[in-house]
Amino acid sequence: MKDCIFCKIINKELPSDIIYEDEKVIAFKDINPQAPIHILICPKKHIETINDLKEEDKEIIGHLFLVAKKLAKDLNVDKRGYRIIVNCNKEGGQEIYHIHFHFLAGKPLGKLVC
């Protein structure tokens, strides 16, 4: 998508600190980290929100979780713990309309507050 920041990161038109990449997924550091480890895990396919997911996207969403699991092990936070968040639309706090997991770790994250 032409005006999507994450598509530009995926296409290397914008710089980012890439932690992991494969054919279908990219993971890079959040520019404004909310925890010592704050990584965004995105499908390379431009999907705007959870609401836009199709039956055919089942595999890619499963793949995002497997990448999260791998990052947790590689970064040695799998046993300590981590949190995955996906925001959807305005009241869900979504700012970038290219679906992504927030992978947060590295400190006690406490209860989710709303």
Decide if 50 contacts 86 (C-beta within 8 A): yes
Residue with Cβ nearer ligand 5GP (24 or 94) = 94
Q: 5 touches which of Zn ion, ligand 5GP, none (CB within 5 to 8 A by kind)? A: ligand 5GP
Mark residues 69-88: x for contact with ligand 5GP by CB under 6 A, - for none: ------------------x-
For ligand 5GP, which stretch binds (CB under 6 A), given 18-26, 30-38, 43-51, 62-70? 30-38
d(CA 50, CA 53) in angstroms, rounded, equals 5
Q: 101 touches which of Zn ion, ligand 5GP, none (CB within 5 to 8 A by kind)? A: none
Other Cβ atoms within 10 Å of 5 Cβ, number: 16
Task: Copy the structure tokens of residue 62.
Answer: 């499963």
d(CA 66, CA 46) in angstroms, rounded, equals 19
